[in-house]
Amino acid sequence: GHFEAKPDFMAYTSAINAWASGNSPEKAKRAWNLFLKMQDRYKDGDLSIKPNDVSLTAVMNACAHIPKRSSTEHQQNALRIALEAQNILLQDGDNSNEYGTANSVTFKTLIIVFGKLIPSVARRRHFVSVAFERCCKEGQVDESILRVLKTYTPDLHAKLPANKELPNEWSRNIRKGRRSKVNREINL
């Protein structure tokens, strides 16, 4: 018989992840273009290629890890792309939309993007603070969030509750095994 092979969600997301792990200063742009192709094919009726939070987080990951030697233009473009991906996933202040739900990996990746790509300390602090507040609101704070918060904005990390006990609602949507580690990680 005749079999027509075509790329699906997994193939595109794997290609986005491949760009994210490469060394090209163009990787954010290439990952974003693959996502846009996915989105166009989905909107044209190919349901097997529906983008989701995994594909959008993979794009953000490509942005977070552009090579240090990249030009200012590449870094600014990566930041713009990450913000566009964030806006799609967190549109209208809603954490659940047609592309899925932002999770702790998404928020961690955003904090890394802001930490690496925003040179101004005040501006970086603002963007990380907004992402962290949203992460808390969505109940997605886990130990990885606390580590990147400490790495990129140690002053924000230092302002966490003095008794080292984070509010339970900040991690209410983290799987049980990971939730118990959150309060231990505050002392990183």
Q: Among 56-70, 151-165, 172-186, where is mean pLDDT lowest? A: 172-186
> Which conformational region is residue 9 in: left (phi greater than 0), alpha (psi within -120 to 50 degrees), or beta?
alpha
Which amino acid does the sequence have at 160? L
pLDDT in tens, 83-131: 999 999 887 555 567 888 899 999 999 999 999 999 999 999 999 999 9
Please report which helix (H) or strand (E) contains residue 100, including its range.
strand 100-101
Give the ranges where 67-187 is alpha helix by DSSP (H): 72-89, 104-117, 121-137, 143-152, 154-158, 176-185
Q: Return the sign of the alpha-carbon dihedral for residues 172, 112, 150, 180.
A: positive
pTM: 0.88
Hey, which residues does 101 pair with through a beta bridge? Answer: 96
Rounded CA-CA distance 85/104 in Å is 15
**Token pair in block for residue 63:** 């942005």
pLDDT in tens, 131-156: 999 999 999 999 999 999 999 999 99
Q: Among 7-11, 74-78, 91-95, where is mean pLDDT lowest? A: 91-95
**Token pair in block for residue 47:** 């349901």
